[in-house]
Amino acid sequence: MRDALSHSSAQFRNEQYNSASQQEPHCILMRLFNGTAAWAALKGLALGPSLIALFSAILLLSDLGHWKTASAASPSVGGQVGTTGKTVKTAIVYYARGAATDLCVQGLIDGLKASGFEEGRNLEVHRADAQGEMINIPAILQNYDSSDVDLIMTISTPCLAGACNNVKHKPVVFTCVSDPIAAGAGKSHRDHLPFVTGVGSFPPVSHGLDLMQKLIPGLRAVGTMYNPAEANSVKEQTVAREVFRSRGVRLEQVAIAGSSEVLQAVQILAGRDIQAVWVPADNTAYEGYEGAMKGASDAHLPLITDMCSALPRGGLACLGVGMQHSSLVAGKLAGRVLLGTNPKDLPLEEVAVEELEISRGNAAQLGLAIPPKLSQNLRP
């Protein structure tokens, strides 16, 4: 009889095990433990606290395994974008609408497309114009920072500086910026704000002076204007002072606070015995470019600019950076961020592809001869 009972007991435990094998791990352990001699001993000793601690440990280990499995199975937001085709939302914030801004925007869009993000398919792009007023920038950025966009992209130094000071929750990618370090993006290209990355494009100041000296023989003095509130302009003017001084060319500078002051600035410069007007990569000067052209034309002075996108509006020549190239690179960086890369792991980049154009018609009006070596850069 005792052997029969033992056999029945063993068979019952086997059935319990087979049934439990289809259940949760902690249930299996509890059922198996229930039928052991240790269980009887512990019951006999009435070790209630020990039992509680033991079963708590079993449950914790079981749940920990589930947590790890769930974590491994849950992709990041960037991973979801790449695998499920989720639409991401982005915002582009720029200083003012214009030909240069359009190039920057298109470069970003092209770079995003190269990274697998395309408007109308899996990319939504909101565009915001500060209308040439720096006072509008913080509110625009703060609005997007508290919205559901996945990424903020900025165009121009004022917009980058605004993002560095006002964005707290979103990643930022910038482009069309002369000097991101001067704008507050960080201490160096590798040591930068953890939520910011992008592409800088410092103007070729030295090559710009080379061009002026080739077009204007015996160049002795150049006049320029800049907005001291723009970090990019302050940096460019600081570099220019040293470059011009080393070449023995006098640089006359006039500070401006708004685009309406550009014409007056050129008129002041024309009275300082200059031989050319230089419009630098300054957003305020760019906005007031027609005023610079009028002042230069009235004084019969050649106008040279850093911004080739402005040359169709008038002037003798431009030597600057093609922003469509740097924006394309920035767009690809934006794509990497959307795919899950942390901006702090992406060093700031420098892309400066030079562009040179000379207006044949304006040169004729000024009676200037174009050196044969520059003939391939002529435009009507």
Residue in the structure block whose two tokens are 């002037």: 315
Structure tokens at 306: 């850093």
Counting residues of the chain whose pLDDT is more than 70, the rounded percentage is: 78
Residues 44-55 have a mean pLDDT of: 40
By mean pLDDT, which of 42-46, 119-123, 240-244, 328-332 is the weakest? 42-46
Residue in the structure block whose two tokens are 């370090």: 181
Whole-structure pTM value? 0.76
DSSP state of 183: T
pLDDT of res. 28: 37
pLDDT of res. 64: 34
Residues 371-378 have a mean pLDDT of: 93
- Answer whether residue 173 shows pLDDT above 70: yes
pLDDT of res. 19: 41
- No. of helices (H) and no. of strands (E), the chain: 15, 13
Residue 247 backbone dihedrals phi, psi, to 5 degrees: -95, 0
Residues 260-271 have a mean pLDDT of: 98
Under the banding of pLDDT at 50, 70 and 90, the label for residue 12 is very low
Question: Residue 303 and residue 223: Cα distance in Å, rounded?
Answer: 10
Question: Residue 283 and residue 307: Cα distance in Å, rounded?
Answer: 10
Sign of the torsion angle spanned by Cα atoms 7, 13, 16, 22? negative
Under the banding of pLDDT at 50, 70 and 90, the label for residue 43 is very low
Question: Residue 164 and residue 94: Cα distance in Å, rounded?
Answer: 14
What Å distances lie between residue 369 and 147, 217, 365, 366, CA to CA?
56, 10, 11, 9
Catalogue all structural domains in the chain, each as residue range(s) with its CATH number. 2-73 (no CATH), 79-201+324-347 (3.40.50.2300), 205-320+355-379 (3.40.50.2300)
Counting residues of the chain whose pLDDT is more than 90, the rounded percentage is: 77
Question: Residue 164 and residue 183: Cα distance in Å, rounded?
Answer: 8
Under the banding of pLDDT at 50, 70 and 90, the label for residue 68 is very low
Question: Residue 221 and residue 301: Cα distance in Å, rounded?
Answer: 12
